[in-house]
């Protein structure tokens, strides 16, 4: 790019569309990475809706064409991808980012730090399972185990990262689940 070319804009905005919309705004004078907000731009909160469909090829083709009209939602998985290596590469501490973002992430990461080197490294891709919910009529039919076994594959397909560590704190059976949801 020529040094003396007059630029019609001093600020640029980027819009990303893929399963939702994300935006970034930065000035042409900003230093590299300045527009990154650590907790907002590195942690990926997401909800994965779980549907039941018939085994017919027509029904499966509809799903691949993003037509869920005849699918039946049977539950959801709500979690957070924590890209520790990216956070470190940007010059931040993963614990600080988790602490800033949500008390459950801070608690999870505090416990996780006790096991560093034995089971995990600071540069792991962590997927924190905040909640797995199957509607009552679909519980106890084996879907829970299938979802947990397939979760790494699901995360690769949906988030384009391989989780090297899956973390889940089951709710105590005595407590009733609340409908509190996190939204980013």
The string of pLDDT tens digits covering residues 92-106 is 999 999 999 999 999
Q: Which of 94-108, 117-131, 151-165 has the lowest mean pLDDT?
A: 117-131
Token pair for residue 161?
């990262």
108 lies in which domain range?
A: 33-168
Q: Evaluate whether residue 5 is within a structural domain.
A: no
**What's the average model confidence in pLDDT over 154-164?**
90
Q: Evaluate whether residue 40 is within a structural domain.
A: yes
Q: Evaluate whether residue 78 is within a structural domain.
A: yes
Question: Is the model's pLDDT at 134 over the cut of 70?
Answer: yes
Q: What is the mean pLDDT of the chain?
A: 80
| pLDDT at site 39 | 77
Structural domain total, the chain: 1
Ranges of H-type helices in the chain: 38-42, 57-64, 84-89, 94-101, 103-113, 143-159
Q: Evaluate whether residue 44 is within a structural domain.
A: yes
Query: Which residue in the block uniquely carries the two structure tokens 């679909």?
Result: 138
Q: Evaluate whether residue 20 is within a structural domain.
A: no
pTM of the model: 0.75
Give the Cβ contact number of residue 158 at 10 Å.
Answer: 14
Q: Evaluate whether residue 173 is within a structural domain.
A: no
Q: Evaluate whether residue 100 is within a structural domain.
A: yes
Q: Answer with the residue of higher pLDDT: 22 or 154.
A: 154
Q: Answer with the residue of higher pLDDT: 31 or 157.
A: 157
Q: Which band of pLDDT confidence, cut at 50, 70 and 90, is reported for residue 175?
A: very low
**What's the average model confidence in pLDDT over 3-30?**
64
Q: Evaluate whether residue 128 is within a structural domain.
A: yes
């Amino acid at each position: 790019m020529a040094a003396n070319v007059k630029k019609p804009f001093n600020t640029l905005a980027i819009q990303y569309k893929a399963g939702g919309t994300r935006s970034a705004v930065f000035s042409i004078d900003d230093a590299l990475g300045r527009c990154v907000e650590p907790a907002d731009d590195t942690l990926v909160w997401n909800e994965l809706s779980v549907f039941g469909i018939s085994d017919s090829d027509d029904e499966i083709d509809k799903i691949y064409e993003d037509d869920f009209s005849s699918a039946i939602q049977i539950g959801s998985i709500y979690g957070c991808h924590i890209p520790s290596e990216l956070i470190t590469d940007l010059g931040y501490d993963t614990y600080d980012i988790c602490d800033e973002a949500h008390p459950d992430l801070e608690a999870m990461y505090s416990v996780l730090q006790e096991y560093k080197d034995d089971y995990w490294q600071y540069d792991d891709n962590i997927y924190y399972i905040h909640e797995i919910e199957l509607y009552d009529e679909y519980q106890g039919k084996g879907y829970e185990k299938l979802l947990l076994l397939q979760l790494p594959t699901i995360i690769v397909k949906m988030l384009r990262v391989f989780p090297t560590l899956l973390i889940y704190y089951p709710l105590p059976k005595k407590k009733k689940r609340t409908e509190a949801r996190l939204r980013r």
